[in-house]
Amino acid sequence: MGVGGKQQVNKDATVPDNRVITSADVAREAGVARSTVSRCLSGDGRISEETRQRVLETAERLGYQINQIARSMNRRKSDLVGLVTSGLEDPFRVQFLHHLISAIQKIGYRPLVIDVSEPEHMSRSMLHLLQYQVAGVVVTSGSPSPEIGQHFIRRNVPVVLVNRAGLLEGADVVNCDNEAGGRLAAEALLAAGKRHLGFLNMSGGTYSGNARGEAFVAAIAPRLASGEVRFTPLGCRSADYDGGFQAGVEILGRPDAPDGIFCGKDHIALGLMDAARFELGLKIPQDLAVVGFDDITASSQRAYGLTTIRQCAEDLAELTVSRLARHISGPEGGAMARAVLPVELIRRTSA
Amino acid sequence: MGVGGKQQVNKDATVPDNRVITSADVAREAGVARSTVSRCLSGDGRISEETRQRVLETAERLGYQINQIARSMNRRKSDLVGLVTSGLEDPFRVQFLHHLISAIQKIGYRPLVIDVSEPEHMSRSMLHLLQYQVAGVVVTSGSPSPEIGQHFIRRNVPVVLVNRAGLLEGADVVNCDNEAGGRLAAEALLAAGKRHLGFLNMSGGTYSGNARGEAFVAAIAPRLASGEVRFTPLGCRSADYDGGFQAGVEILGRPDAPDGIFCGKDHIALGLMDAARFELGLKIPQDLAVVGFDDITASSQRAYGLTTIRQCAEDLAELTVSRLARHISGPEGGAMARAVLPVELIRRTSA
DNA sequence: TTGTATGCGTTATCAA
DNA sequence: TTGATAACGCATACAA
């Protein structure tokens, strides 16, 4: 029945240097209570300037680093922000991820990245984030099932969806202006004198892609009705360079091919351009005008000079994080909102 | 001991559903101790199959999710792996980051990404990771000051450095085979009949870049000595497309320009090619042969067809993580090691 | 302004 | 095989 059977605990007055320094060590050294140390490091105002100085100095001297895990445990909230991504082979997404990481750091949080390769694991992966007491979640890809929003609402964890259909309950949505983009693309191709237009995107398509295509068609609708202009919907197997290239070879080889094509993503457009030039021997923009979407870095390279709709990855990231921050520090259950990032037509040589 | 029927829902459970479920709730429902629940979920073998089933079932039914923060607190080790990056505008690095994230997830850990924009904050940022009780750290960029290795050794946190000089005490190093790459590039240019060679990289240069350049020069040394071949070191302002383009305009405009150039990174090579073709009107590879390094996706595009030294980002990531995993689960203070990833010459049309 | 006492959810230790 | 209990390092309510 050895109730007392505890072993001797080594509580020296001095701090052995093979152990990690805790706030208790700092407190002992500075001659204050642990709670005082905690208050100093949490920026709690109710502390005298003198003790604050002494404690911070001692902490510095001992090389004390706060244990974020313990802090999170106590607060039941960590300073981690979950980043749910997928399709990181897409350069625009990756560029966006980069800026997202910076933006999250800038508001004093840390990104915990989850890459969801299989879409069906999406929801499970998002729930996983709850295990880390995340302060918020950004979903840049994939489609979470709408009902899991409840879990985040109940635990008061804000969620922001970027560039996807806003189907998650209680989540903020941030989009680039796909409608304006589609319209601008139409205007550019029409201004270039093209009369047989096409929209090339991955068959089936994503939310963003469809929105762009629909806006494009809506913009040319009057001229379509008057018979002044023709339109052909086009599809490719994958939303990347190879998809664009293959589709280009196929489409442009046909007798009655479009002479002005709007692509759902820049990479598709680059593949299309290469197919046109190197497989079909077409001149751009004389024989074929091309407009892309995103303005990835390759588009501005001399070999392409792609005219495109620019959505600024950095601005999109800032916007996303500002939404998130508002909810993290804000009142519980703020109304969900929709934010739209302006886009811009970048004129180069392809249209 | 009524076995919980399937139709038994939260209604008669003792757990109020506005609260987060803890292991104590599961224990109460399943009629066992908290420690038993813990053992079941940790995969601790010493448990009867019957209780294990009951507990797991109960946990599932209640929607219990383990609190990783609390677990980490107790174990004094989290399942997070710190990823120290910078220069994410470089497409190869980003691609590598993508594979690194996947690889870390695959071994059951979570990536905690830190982007270090200012190199001087490098060491401080790395130390920050210790606050999260990370299980390991991967440094893909920047140069940590050698002495901070001690902090990680003392806390038994393995560190792997990728593609940098192995200056951190106690850290494993993973590199691609820069030496073989430099040699292969030299052979390719010589085989193309070029006799005035150059190595173009950012002035000052990085560890990897210098290693590649030195190997290149070493490979042509015999022919250099015999006067059969000439060599000119070249520099650009930035290690990207623009840097390569600007350098190209300047260098290739000179009367005695090289006719075969090895670039430290693909992006530099792409800029150089565009400068050669569109500014100088040169034919590639007739007037100028170019070899790059990395094999980023753009290099294989039809508009470039860059002959390059390929380092596979995915293999590099796998190698990196396998090293890390060895140390995480392995014995304390395993000897530091150096791993080298093979590279391969990809012949396209630029040389 | 500062100290004391308690709890956060988990795992590890020990006893049964 | 299972249960009781003591940490883990911090923050906070309450007391002084």
| Nucleotide D6 C1' to residue B54 CA (A) | 27
CB-based contact A326:A135 (threshold 8 Å): no
pLDDT of residue A329: 83
Residues B63 and A173: their CA atoms lie apart, in Å, by 27
Element holding B81 (H helix, E strand): strand B80-85
pLDDT at A5 over 60: no
- Cβ count within 10 A of residue B262: 34
> Can you tell me the distance from the alpha carbon of A151 to that of A140, in angstroms, rounded to the nearest whole number?
19
Residue B209's nearest CA partner among B245, B191, B185 is B185
Q: Is the peptide bond before A285 cis (omega within 30 degrees of 0)?
A: yes
Q: What angle do CA A66, A71, A76 make, to 5 degrees?
A: 165
Q: What is the per-residue pLDDT for B16?
A: 52
Predicted confidence at residue B6, as pLDDT, reads: 32
Q: What is the pLDDT of residues A226-254, one digit of tens each?
A: 999 999 999 999 999 999 999 999 999 99
State what percent of residues in chain B have pLDDT above 70: 93
Who contacts B95 (Cβ-Cβ below 8 Å, separation ≥6)? A89, A94, B296, B297, B313
Task: Give the residue carrying structure tokens 């094509």.
Answer: A261
Task: Check residue B117 and give its pLDDT.
Answer: 86
Order across the sheet with B338-341: list the strands. Answer: A338-341, A172-176, A159-162, A136-139, A80-85, A110-115, B110-115, B80-85, B136-139, B159-162, B172-176, B338-341
Contacts of A332 in chain B (CB under 8 A): none
pLDDT of residue B347: 98
pLDDT for res B17:
56
pLDDT at B187 over 80: yes
Cα–Cα separations (whole angstroms), residue A121 to A227, B103, B182, B192 = 47, 17, 43, 50
| Residue A122, CA distances (Å) to A125, A127, A157 in order | 5, 9, 17
pLDDT higher than threshold 70 for residue B4: no
Give the residue carrying structure tokens 């060491």.
B123
Give the pLDDT of residue A333. Answer: 55
Q: What is the mean pLDDT of residues A183-201?
A: 98
C strand bases under 7 Å from protein CB: 1-5, 7-16
The distance (Å) linking the CA of A328 with the C1' of D12 is 21
Distance in angstroms (rounded) separating the CA atoms of residues B161 and B172: 6
pLDDT digits (tens, 9 = 90+) for A60-80: 999 999 999 999 999 999 999
The residues facing B159 across adjacent strands are B137
Looking at the predicted structure, is the pLDDT value of residue A16 above 70? no
Return the pLDDT at A335: 64
CB of A102 within 8 Å of a chain B CB? The answer is yes
pLDDT in tens, A261-312: 999 999 999 999 999 999 999 999 999 999 999 999 999 999 999 999 999 9
Mean per-residue pLDDT, B169-179: 94
pLDDT at B7: 32
- The reply to whether B35 touches chain A by the CB within 8 Å rule is no
Residue-level pLDDT at A103: 97
Residue in B141, B140, B137 with CA at minimum distance from that of residue B170: B137
> Does A108 score more than 50 pLDDT?
yes
Percent of chain A having pLDDT more than 90? Answer: 79
Residue that wins the pLDDT comparison between A331 and B120: B120
Q: 10 Å Cβ neighbour count for B98?
A: 23
Cα–Cα distance for residue pair A206/A186, rounded to 1 Å: 20
CA B295 to chain centre: 15
What Å value separates CA A118 and C1' D6? Answer: 43
Hey, what amino acid is at B225?
A
Q: Do A73 and B68 touch (CB under 8 A)?
A: no
Residue B196 CB partners (closer than 8 Å, separation 6+): B229, B230, B231, B232, B256, B257, B258, B259, B260
Q: What are the pLDDT digits (tens) for B135-168? A: 999 999 877 888 899 899 999 999 999 998 877 8
C-alpha distances in Å from residue B324, one per residue of A22, A50, A275: 27, 45, 43
Over the stretch B218-271, which tens digit does the pLDDT of each residue have?
Answer: 999 999 999 999 999 999 999 999 999 999 999 999 999 999 999 999 999 999
Are A134 and A78 contacting, i.e. CB atoms less than 8 angstroms apart? yes
For B297-318, how does the pLDDT look when each residue is reduced to its tens digit (9 = 90+)?
Answer: 999 999 999 999 999 999 999 9
Contact A302 B274 (CB under 8 A): yes
Residues A77, B122: Cα–Cα separation, whole Å: 27
Nearest Cα of chain B lies from the Cα of A274 at a distance, in angstroms, of: 6
pLDDT value, residue B11 = 40
Three-state secondary-structure class, residue A80: strand
Q: What is the DSSP string of A114-176?
A: EE-SSGGGHHHHHHHHHTTT-SEEEE-SS---GGGHHHHHHTT--EEEESS---STT-EEEEE
